[in-house]
Chain A
Amino acid sequence: AQKVTQAQTEISVVEKEDVTLDCVYETRDTTYYLFWYKQPPSGELVFLIRRNSFDEQNEISGRYSWNFQKSTSSFNFTITASQVVDSAVYFCARGTGANSKLTFGKGITLSVRP
């Protein structure tokens, strides 16, 4: 199986700190898709971003930014000026196609303290 590795299990920061969540993936495919999801304590899985293997452009959305590097098979997620509401479990996932089944990493529990 082609794994997704999120080596960090738990991260705790103080509000307004920047934090980077790491994701490393394995792939034998030329085409693949990468995703980040947020799971707050309520349990629902919230889609954050999708990237396909042909698009290595980094992306910024408000306080969130993503760094996709095929050379290192990484797709890292940075939250700038973290807030308490960012406290959640964050999952990185990989799919062979945009509409295919996903393989998830183990998730990173982020706690942002006031």
Chain B
Amino acid sequence: SAVISQKPSRDICQRGTSLTIQCQVDSQVTMMFWYRQQPGQSLTLIATANQGSEATYESGFVIDKFPISRPNLTFSTLTVSNMSPEDSSIYLCSVALQETQYFGPGTRLLVL
């Protein structure tokens, strides 16, 4: 399996600001993913982040709102830009390793 950490674990932010979430994994992985889980809902994929290429965004998510970096095989960041209360969610990163996806502990974001 993989050990995945996320920072911050939670945050409370004001609308209009931006927050960058970090995801660190203890082994090199090709594919990393960012998911959003709105309150009481299931997980929805935001984008796939591959090292050395632009992130691939799912329908309904755009780079201006959720810019992603993937500087190496063990690290990625997701920025939630110009936040509104509707962005209040848990944001989870995941990695594909040994034919399984493992998830980080999540970042709980509350936007006031």
Contacts and interface: CB of A to CB of B under 8 A. Distances in A.
Contact of A98 (B43, B94, B99): B99
Contact of A37 (B41, B103, B108): B103
A101 B33 contact: yes
A99 B105 contact: no
A44 B106 contact: yes
Contacts of B41: 106
A68 interface: no
Chain B, interface residues (CB within 8 Å), range:
20 to 34
A99 B102 contact: no
B72 interface: no
Given A44-B106, A47-B1, A101 B99 contact: no
A19 B30 CA distance: 37
B99 to A, nearest CB: 3
Contact of A91 (B33, B43, B94): B43
Contacts, number: 55
A102 interface: yes
Interface of A: 33, 35, 37, 43-45, 47, 50, 52, 91, 93, 95, 98-107
23 contacts: A33-B99, A35-B100, A35-B101, A43-B105, A44-B105, A44-B106, A45-B43, A45-B92, A45-B106, A47-B101, A47-B102, A91-B42, A93-B43, A99-B30, A99-B99, A99-B101, A101-B45, A101-B48, A102-B94, A102-B101, A103-B45, A106-B41, A107-B42
